[in-house]
Structure 1
């Protein structure tokens, strides 16, 4: 059971504060009257001078299609880009019920908690960049692994997050939802930004959008390097992105996009809580040095990625559109991690001791694909009734392998799996919007997906009961799934809507878990959601609020297994939860957003009714409560006769206690980040502080049996807590130059 409020007074006080903020946001969502007529005789006031503009990382595209669910967000980050963020992945925190963690180092994909799911590094969230899928099938570190660290934040234009499988366009891995990054550079000209901070962190960004071109044409470069906040946490990475758009006739445009990225990083892994408390680790004697210590210095990884796409967009008569896209991705990655020390080498050679549990996971893959959608302009009942038809073709050729490495020298001594994988995913969908009444909008459709797996297992025995054999074996599997989805939106008032959505989705199977001639190699997800959405806006003040409750059931789920170092199947799971968010924007001067979310994830008992949503064993590692606050205030001041723009921003995350195996719970986490910037003409200076209060927090926490005492020491059978230390207070100063900005410097 979760610890009582009496025993965790600080946690419960924090939860009460979040609930109060939520109620305050809901009460503030009142109609906004803007009809104020000036006196006819009065002269118009002089136009206010335009303050120096700050760099905005993410901006919305204006009009967006109606949401398919209460949890469907076209995020216009706008001024909230001022809040400190390390990467494009951190933008996910602007969606309610999302939290991130990373136990693998600067360059390892983030673990995503969303909608009551521990989505790992992508197993339950579909990631796309400009329409190109990022989830990697049968990745050695975890099926669906998706690394968005390579995306340059300054080039992200729009972030579309759909929580739940409610849009017919959502495909494989869209169990907890889909995240779509769209790139663009609205601010034309050249921006050069350099920063230096704690632990010798350095960052250099360059983005350029020629004045004569549209926002979809740009070039970006990003270099990052640092020593990390403790031993064995150094990193270095470099990435480049470029996109161009050409007109083809009067109605078509051709868009080219390419990206390249390379990184290398070290990781400290996890440490046992008992060793930290007793100060037995091989670092300095202080509590501080012990907290950020490590066992195995051979942990870390390296990765390379190349991505390209060509997209043809044609505008049809009567408002229709036809879009075709071809894409390709080449990916290579190697990760080394050690979660258990000297525990799993059960059969060392005679006379030798344990060789160690360091696990090397390597992945090399090539993805080729096509996608397209057709939207004819159709009008019924004197109102536009859009119909969309789409298709998706993806082919993956993958080599995925996991091996154990010796503690001394790092040579591999045992192969856990070694597979050559070929996967073909063919999908098609149809969706339609009908509005039989002005206050009623129906959106529904269905998606059909087929999966064909071909696996060459290169890790079979060289001998069986019938004698010698070739140590490889071929496996084939095939299946298809139909996923209907329906959403109903009722406009209760011009500003208040009630949205109800239901949908089925699917997650393809990991090749390592397939059997020959298996049919339907995928997991099914069933989800439903109902909630309210409120929007009110005027020329100066805009208020948006949403809230919903949801329930989800997955036929086959995964939970992290420390011995395998990756997620392993655990059977069916279910979730029930709720979220709420409110955002207030005042005249591009003040922007505040708060969100809270609660969920319960469990493993139902065998044969239990699917309607018993609150039954079963609680799933580990998934926090029940999440809260997030982002706020930014901008203004200007006169300094020595010159206009100087200023900005103050604050970000706060609350992460409730996470259930751990064996009926344990982690401590709650409270983090604060702050930023201060000033700009004069083309020069901007900034200071960001992450973990403002210098909290000692645990970014990842587990509870299991391990043996880090040494190869000769007997293993304890008592489970204990292990954790990966979170970053301490981190300061970073930034100098940014804006060149060739005609709209700001006429």
Structure 2
């Protein structure tokens, strides 16, 4: 019988190798296919038809393990090993591939390679010595996801991808996702500004971010819907990030119209480390992190040759191997401080801590992760362009030196996975405490000429929730290979204190509104993946969500109340291929965006006292995508996606004013291209480009969406030692975005930006040293620009319409020293 090899769904870089049973591979029947010359019996296989299964030669005593979808590479903790002659030993972890009977699909060379890798083979000691090959292990964004991904824009990035990028701010790690731009318009502790696919995502609206299933977005937030602060993440602890774009995945619900990202932690860090960083403008960072193993891997019993087990027919007894079951603790403590180039220093101070318990193996595991974060900072808010040009303000100056912020977040997240044959159950439950106290001033002295326009946004909340999903692998649908997933998600936000206040030098003189809010949601979804033929498969999903918005108390009793709403979202993707290691994707899906619970129940404007209409609780969105993913050239991953996104209304709660605005509908379409090339182990080249056309609908000629970026580019080169390899290393990266409209009639545009960051270093077994240069060419670009009316002291009462900007920080150097133990 012929067999097809396919890649399992990736979860923390792990999967499962199907064992004995009705669908097990009868490797003995494949041995006659292994008819190469003796020198070729070292498994230096020709490129296979399925590009994500490759076999390579390793030295004696080494082990092989799959690395994402890339080549096999040396790894510890293998679950099975067999000798292939006197000069080499091969092993295979229970990871990343499954083997199920299908129609003829593989070439004989690949079947021979798989048979030799999975089955012990007796080779004569008199045969020629094996030839050793140095495989190129492809992981992260360059991984071959042909046969795995459901869309061209889906992907994942590895720890190596994340750590090889010089970044100025913590939130910039999200720029690992093609097409994402990260900027800032205030102090270091405030959530960054996000841009993707023609969306000005503000601080996270319409892009869902989570950490192992625990949400980072804050709905009904004091500063803005979907507010997402990435400061609690420590990059060295991240194993990778899985990302998707569009409304095509059944598991993605609220705030995911533009896409979603889920960060994953290491269970056991690659090494313990102590890191110290120092840079200009009083930049200091210290980190200590490591893992403590609480027990040794449990040994699995020896399995004798069994004629009833096709895996053991005609073979010697299998030696005792490790089951990979481990227990341990991973810990980390980080402190960071930075003043920045500002005339009034940011004085940003950040503490982060993490403690993680893990137990299990790749099939059955349990983790509990505690995270703690606290930060305070001075707000370097945007300033008016006119004051810079006439010399009243320095480019790095401030109008109101009394603005600042303070925030903290503490969370407990428990995750688990169990496997019973082909049935996998995954889930998590979380509890979060969060608070924010933020003082800002964007219009200066326009509304209150004597006191100033400073305002305070303050909140504290508890969040409880969880997710659970069960997947039936290797199922059938009318004789076709299928996989089914059924999931349930719930979240509850208990917001006991959320308020907007007018302040003077951080002293309150007016309460605009103060509320207590309870918001709850529950969603159920199903997804079916079906292989109809060797060249056609589909992913169909259906999601149903219910929401409850309850403004339990408010400054104005008229704005109290509750509201229920629900929405159903179908999704479908059709995948054609692979042909010549290339796939074509067609996808369509419906999604939604929730609005602030206060806006859902507000009937009186708390600022003006005017009667206003309630906003819709849930707003329908939809998107489509046509894409191509190709691995036709060796070591080159290329994706192309054409997308379309439509929203019924750009409804948002205006946190700075304490009221709501119901904007018109919107439509966005564009193109994204990404390419990752790694011809040799020590060289990686990548490039990403995105073009977007974004307009309001039914808005006449004034239909431009402010701050919608029409063109962006990101690319870089990485040289030398990768990951944990020893030796010199270097990287240089560029990011650019074009001019964009700042007002609906497009009469005012923002400035284009082009920034280059670079780093160089040297790594040994126990230490590492590196130097980074941020904004290498010292360009005077702007991080963010807005166009609105403001007034400085001494100006006319009605103020001036002007561009307000937050400048890009000048060239700065940082040095990093790491000791590994």
Give TM class, smaller chain: 0.7 to 0.9
Distance 1:106 1:519 in 2: 33
Q: Could you say which residue in structure 2 is the equivalent of 1:602?
A: 695
Q: Could you say which residue in structure 2 is the equivalent of 1:105?
A: 187
Q: Could you say which residue in structure 1 is the equivalent of 2:337?
A: 225
Distance 1:566 1:130 in 2: 34
Shift of 1:564: 3.0
Shift of 1:436: 0.9
Change (3 A) 1:361 1:568: farther
Farther-moved stretch of structure 1 (176-185 vs 560-569): 560-569
Change (3 A) 1:63 1:718: closer
Change (3 A) 1:552 1:202: same
Q: Could you say which residue in structure 2 is the equivalent of 1:4?
A: none
Alignment of 1:148-227 (within 5 A): 148-184=230-266, 187-210=269-292, 212=296, 217-227=329-339
Equivalent of residue 294 in structure 1, options 377, 393, 398: 398
Q: Could you say which residue in structure 2 is the equivalent of 1:483?
A: 569
Q: Could you say which residue in structure 2 is the equivalent of 1:12?
A: none
Farther-moved stretch of structure 1 (587-596 vs 129-138): 587-596
Change (3 A) 1:309 1:64: farther
Change (3 A) 1:109 1:597: same
Shift of 1:79: 5.1
Equivalent of residue 372 in structure 2, options 260, 282, 293: 260
Distance 1:363 1:722 in 2: 27
Q: Could you say which residue in structure 1 is the equivalent of 2:441?
A: 338
Farther-moved stretch of structure 1 (409-418 vs 522-531): 409-418
Change (3 A) 1:189 1:554: same
1:522-561, CA deviations, whole angstroms, 9 ceiling, x for partnerless residues? 1110111101111247xxx521100111111111215797
CA contact (8 A) 2:56 2:133 kept: no
CA contact (8 A) 2:275 2:286 kept: yes
Q: Could you say which residue in structure 2 is the equivalent of 1:377?
A: 473
Unpaired runs of 5+ residues, structure 2, are: 1-50, 58-125, 298-325, 604-613
Shift of 1:343: 1.2
CA contact (8 A) 1:359 1:405 kept: yes
Alignment of 1:397-546 (within 5 A): 397-399=494-496, 401-407=498-504, 409-460=505-556, 474-491=560-577, 493-515=579-601, 521-536=617-632, 542-546=635-639
Distance 1:112 1:255 in 2: 31
1:662-706, CA deviations, whole angstroms, 9 ceiling, x for partnerless residues? 511112101000000112331211100000011111111111110
Distance 1:232 1:334 in 2: 19
Q: Which has the larger radius of gyration?
A: 2
CA contact (8 A) 2:599 2:615 kept: no
Equivalent of residue 328 in structure 1, options 423, 431, 437: 431
Q: Could you say which residue in structure 1 is the equivalent of 2:461?
A: 365
Farther-moved stretch of structure 1 (556-565 vs 213-222): 556-565
Alignment of 1:345-744 (within 5 A): 345=448, 354-380=450-476, 384-399=481-496, 401-407=498-504, 409-460=505-556, 474-491=560-577, 493-515=579-601, 521-536=617-632, 542-558=635-651, 564=657, 568-605=661-698, 617-635=703-721, 645-661=727-743, 663-710=747-794, 713-739=795-821
Distance 2:276 2:668 in 1: 44
Distance 1:732 1:565 in 2: 41
Change (3 A) 1:560 1:397: closer
Distance 1:340 1:310 in 2: 44
CA contact (8 A) 1:605 1:616 kept: no
Distance 1:109 1:674 in 2: 24
CA contact (8 A) 2:162 2:173 kept: no
CA contact (8 A) 2:474 2:481 kept: yes
CA contact (8 A) 2:551 2:601 kept: no
CA contact (8 A) 1:139 1:400 kept: no
- Kindly indicate whether structure 1 or structure 2 has the higher relative contact order, using CA contacts under 8 Å at least 6 residues apart: 1
Distance 1:46 1:442 in 2: 40
Q: Could you say which residue in structure 1 is the equivalent of 2:96?
A: none
Distance 1:678 1:369 in 2: 44
Shift of 1:623: 1.2
CA contact (8 A) 2:600 2:615 kept: no
Distance 2:651 2:158 in 1: 33
Query: What is the SS of the residue equivalent to 1:708?
Result: coil
- Counterpart check, 1:137 vs 2:215: no
CA contact (8 A) 2:706 2:742 kept: yes
Change (3 A) 1:421 1:596: same
Shift of 1:646: 0.1
Q: Could you say which residue in structure 2 is the equivalent of 1:464?
A: none
CA contact (8 A) 1:32 1:536 kept: no
Query: What is the SS of the residue equivalent to 2:649?
Result: strand
CA contact (8 A) 2:443 2:789 kept: yes
Unpaired runs of 5+ residues, structure 1, are: 1-30, 282-289, 346-352, 461-470, 609-614, 637-642, 740-746
Change (3 A) 1:373 1:444: same
- Counterpart check, 1:119 vs 2:232: no
Query: What is the count of residue pairs matched by the alignment?
Result: 658
Q: Could you say which residue in structure 1 is the equivalent of 2:69?
A: none
Change (3 A) 1:635 1:220: closer
Change (3 A) 1:185 1:684: farther
Farther-moved stretch of structure 1 (658-667 vs 592-601): 658-667
Shift of 1:63: 8.1
Query: What is the SS of the residue equivalent to 1:291?
Result: coil
Query: What is the SS of the residue equivalent to 1:660?
Result: coil
Distance 2:363 2:733 in 1: 44
1:162-213, CA deviations, whole angstroms, 9 ceiling, x for partnerless residues? 1111100001111111111111156433111101001010011122123557
Q: Could you say which residue in structure 2 is the equivalent of 1:306?
A: 410
Q: Could you say which residue in structure 2 is the equivalent of 1:639?
A: none
Distance 2:719 2:788 in 1: 45
Q: Could you say which residue in structure 1 is the equivalent of 2:156?
A: 74
Distance 1:57 1:148 in 2: 24
Change (3 A) 1:299 1:669: same
CA contact (8 A) 1:188 1:210 kept: no
Query: What is the SS of the residue equivalent to 1:719?
Result: strand
CA contact (8 A) 2:676 2:687 kept: yes
Shift of 1:264: 0.4
Farther-moved stretch of structure 1 (234-243 vs 643-652): 643-652
CA contact (8 A) 2:224 2:655 kept: no
Shift of 1:36: 12
* TM-score (ref. length: structure 2): 0.75
1:222-268, CA deviations, whole angstroms, 9 ceiling, x for partnerless residues? 110122221232200111112212249x9742211110110001112
* TM-score (ref. length: structure 1): 0.82
Distance 1:442 1:242 in 2: 40
CA contact (8 A) 1:366 1:398 kept: yes
CA contact (8 A) 2:268 2:330 kept: no
Distance 1:374 1:295 in 2: 55
